[in-house]
A and B are shown apart, each in its own frame.
Chain A
Amino acid sequence: MSPATRAARAPGGHGAAPWVFLSPLLAFAAIFFVLPIGFSIYLAFTRWNPLGTPRWVGLRQFEYLLTRDDQFWATIVNTFVFAGAFVLIGVPVALGLAFVFGRARGKAVWRSVYYLPQLTNIVAIAYLWQFVLDDRYGAINRLLGMVGLRGPDWLTDPAMAMVSVVLVMIWYEAGKNMLVFSAALEGVDQDIYDAAEIDGAGAWRTLVSITLSIIRPAFVFVTITSFITGMGFFALILAMTEGGPRGATEVTALYAYRMAFEDLRMGRASAAALILFALIGIIAAVQFRLLRERT
């Protein structure tokens, strides 16, 4: 660092300039980050139908949700099933795709194709899958019908509906995660593979002990971000199944959203959102620990 730079970088060296550059960010942080979070926490301790004024009820909303609201617990279970299945199937699928993608020709074409869903708005995703998965006239059940099979009721059977939304979620995110993995794989030095081969390591052993350990940071990143995304993502489910049939795909974020904007229970909905946020935070931290430590 040159002396001039050091002088320039001394505190107060350029007076107001950095603060001018930062002023939009700071104003935004105050109004659209700190204030809403504070407001949200306050609301969680009140009962509020927005036509009136909030009434302080202490921990009653939390107590109701956690001890008496069976539906809330059902949505928590659904949230975990959705996010868990998405991570457990979606991450290996993306990793597997990255492996074959990394050794294929015509990368630009494959990449564009796999990235297509990521460019598409979620309403279109939901509806085009509704068409494809239609019980009787959807493309998939027609195809199955042609080979004499009767396809499942993808979206109207409560057990299948969760399977369907998970599959669509995996389909939607596969391209993005594949690209993160393939970037990490490209960073692996070919020499390391050669050395492993010299040492007589088989393909499987090479994969497990070399490749996976080198791309571990990417693996940790994709796993945790996928999990966080899965736990809070409800736009797809809202547009695809509206949480149905019979609440089979109702996840907590959707439940809280409807509690707010359909039942107008702002206090309880804020409490539900905070509980979900706390759960996500705790589990993401645990995942981070576990995945980090096994190096």
Chain B
Amino acid sequence: MTLQAGQTARVAAQARLALRPGAGRRVLRGLGAGLKYALLGLGALAMILPFADMFVGALRSPADVFANPPRYWPRDPQWDVYARVFAELPMLRWLVNSVVVTVTITTLQVATSTMAGYALAKYAFRGNGAIFRLVMGAQMFPFFLFIIPIFFLLRFAPLMGGNDIAGQGGAGLLGTYAALVLPFVVTWYGVFLMRQFFLTIPDDLLDAARLDGASEYRIFRSIMLPLVKPAIATLTLFSFVYHWNEFIWTMTVTRVAPDLQTLPVGIYLLSGAFEDLDQKALQQAALAVSILPVIVVFVLLQRMFVAANLSSGVK
């Protein structure tokens, strides 16, 4: 439809609305709006309730738990539970591991994605198309396919962790930070995202820099990277959230290496210690601590995050 036809249609529609007896319709509209917010509100309540339940639960004392019937609302909120979490659990260790692993992976992913995305977007060379198809195709492979083979590739890595040249004799890379980081050095989705952003940057810029005699690496670092800062912020946020929350892989390789466990993994593998009813509050407080950093990061960078999400939607 042309713009003009659309405009005509809108005017006609408005005219029709104006001519119509309005009262009944307005009531219906009001009802519609009420229903709309009722639905959204109900959904929002469902989203928040489990989190609220966790915060309330963390504050219960053993007296609340063992009362008959057990009290839902703590009579004497135990705020020191958040201190106890750090005193009684290896919480600090987990927190440090989470930060180290997440920051390392995020940094590496941003580096590899910008480099690869730039090459795919701005250079014509034999193999470009094939590599791009690999990037798109690889995204289709679910992670569960890789757990077993990568676990043993790391286990039998030659000359690492006491292994001989044939990969025998030691524990390989298992039990090192490398095992947590290496399988995530490249994110296919991130490469795709960066390629799309680099495509929007005009080639003239490149040509001008080349005429000025800048080297290819200089162009990338000093001209191109600053131009894709929004995309880098987006990717940083995605990587951070994803890898802060990553669970299955980290759990698999750190099950026997408590020193390397991250927050979600540590809390999961220690669940046996929370069996007793009076330990539940401790578990709930630990969960709250594991969630909080991501929420803080999200709130700080919400605008960018949302923009990223929308642009990732397929239209």
Residues of A in contact with B (beta carbons under 8 Å apart): 1-2, 4-5, 8-14, 17-22, 24-26, 28-29, 31-33, 35-37, 39-40, 43, 50, 96-97, 100-101, 103-104, 108, 110-124, 127-129, 131-132, 137, 139, 142, 171, 174-176, 179-180, 183-184, 187, 189-192, 194-195, 197-198, 217-218, 221, 228, 231-232, 234-235, 238-239, 253, 256-257, 260-261, 266, 269-270, 273-274, 276-277, 280-281
- Whether the pair A235, B314 counts as a contact (CB closer than 8 A) is no
A259 to B181, alpha carbons, bound, how many Å? 25
Partner of B43, one of A114, A122, A184, A187: A114
- Minimum CB–CB distance from B248 to chain A (whole Å) comes to 5
User: Is the C-beta of B10 less than 8 angstroms from some C-beta in chain A?
Assistant: yes
Q: Is B126's beta carbon under 8 Å from chain A? A: yes
Query: CB-nearest residue of chain B relative to A179?
Result: B309
Judging by beta carbons under 8 Å apart, are A273 and B144 in contact?
yes
B150 — nearest CB in chain A belongs to which residue? A36
Main DSSP-derived SS at the B contact region: helix
- B210 contacts A by Cβ under 8 Å: yes
Contacting residue for B124 out of A10, A112, A260, CB 8 A: A10
Chain A residue contacts of B206, Cβ below 8 A: 5, 8
Q: Which residue of B43, B118, B145, B291 contacts A277 across the interface (Cβ within 8 Å)?
A: B145
Asked if A119 and B10 make an inter-chain contact with CB atoms under 8 angstroms apart, the answer reads no
Given contacts A217-B315, A221-B314, A36 and B146 within 8 Å (CB-CB): yes
Q: Is the interface of A mostly helix, strand, loop or mixed?
A: helix
Please tell me if the beta carbons of A139 and B264 are within 8 angstroms of each other in the complex: no
Within 8 Å by CB of B12, from A19, A183, A198, lies A198
Question: Which 7 residue pairs spanning A and B have beta carbons closest together?
Answer: A191-B6, A36-B149, A21-B119, A121-B245, A18-B123, A17-B216, A232-B142
Given A119-B298, A180-B313, A195-B9: 11 more A-B contacts, CB < 8 Å: A2-B207, A9-B124, A22-B116, A24-B112, A37-B145, A117-B47, A127-B267, A195-B1, A217-B314, A231-B142, A270-B148
Inside 8 A of A5's CB, which chain B residues have their CB? 203-204, 206-207
Say yes or no for B115: interface residue by CB 8 A criterion.
yes
Residue pair B290, A198 in contact (C-beta under 8 Å)? no
Contacts of A274 in B (CB 8 A): 145
B50 at the interface (CB under 8 A from A): yes
| Neighbouring A residues of B143 by C-beta, 8 Å | 232
Report whether B44 and A110 are in contact in the complex, using a CB–CB cutoff of 8 Å: yes
Provide the bound-state CA to CA distance between A25 and B51, in Å: 39
Report if B295 contacts A (CB, 8 A): yes
| Residue pair B6, A184 in contact (C-beta under 8 Å) | no
A18 contacts across to B, CB distance below 8 A = 119, 123, 125, 128
A120 touches B144 (CB 8 A): no
Tell me, rounded to whole Å, the shortest Cβ–Cβ distance linking B58 to chain A.
Answer: 10
A191–B1 touching, CB < 8 Å: yes
Which among A17, A129, A261, A277 is the interface contact of B123 at CB below 8 angstroms? Answer: A17
**Residue of A with least CB distance to B108:** A24
B268 touches which one: A26, A195, A239 (CB < 8 A)?
A239
Contact partner, A108, options B267, B302, B315, Cβ 8 Å: B302
B149 contact from A26, A43, A108, Cβ within 8 A: A43
**From B155, which residue of chain A is reached at the shortest CB distance?**
A50
Q: Would A184 and B313 count as touching, CB distance under 8 A? A: yes
Supply 29 A–B pairs (Cβ within 8 Å), ascending by A.
Answer: A2-B207, A11-B124, A13-B124, A19-B125, A22-B119, A40-B149, A50-B152, A104-B40, A118-B241, A119-B295, A120-B245, A123-B265, A128-B53, A128-B54, A128-B284, A131-B54, A132-B49, A139-B72, A176-B309, A179-B313, A189-B1, A190-B10, A192-B6, A194-B13, A195-B5, A195-B6, A218-B315, A228-B142, A260-B148
Of all chain A residues, which has the CB nearest B134? A29
CA distance A114 to B255 in the complex (A): 33
Task: Tell which of A103, A137, A194 touches B10, judged by Cβ atoms closer than 8 Å.
Answer: A194
Stretch touching chain A among B82-90, B183-191, B228-236: B183-191
Given that A132-B49, A194-B9 are known contacts, is A14 also in contact with B216, CB under 8 Å in the complex?
Answer: yes
Cβ of A173 to closest chain B Cβ, rounded Å: 12
B200 CB, min distance to chain A CBs, angstroms: 15
Q: In the complex the two chains form, what is the Cα distance from A266 to B149 in whole Å?
A: 9
Residues of chain B lying within 8 A (CB to CB) of residue A33 = 138, 141
A266–B312 alpha-carbon span in the complex (Å): 36
Q: Is B227 an interface residue (CB 8 A)?
A: no
Q: How far is the CA of A120 from the CA of B111 in the complex (A)?
A: 25
Report how far A12 CA is from B123 CA in the complex, Å: 9
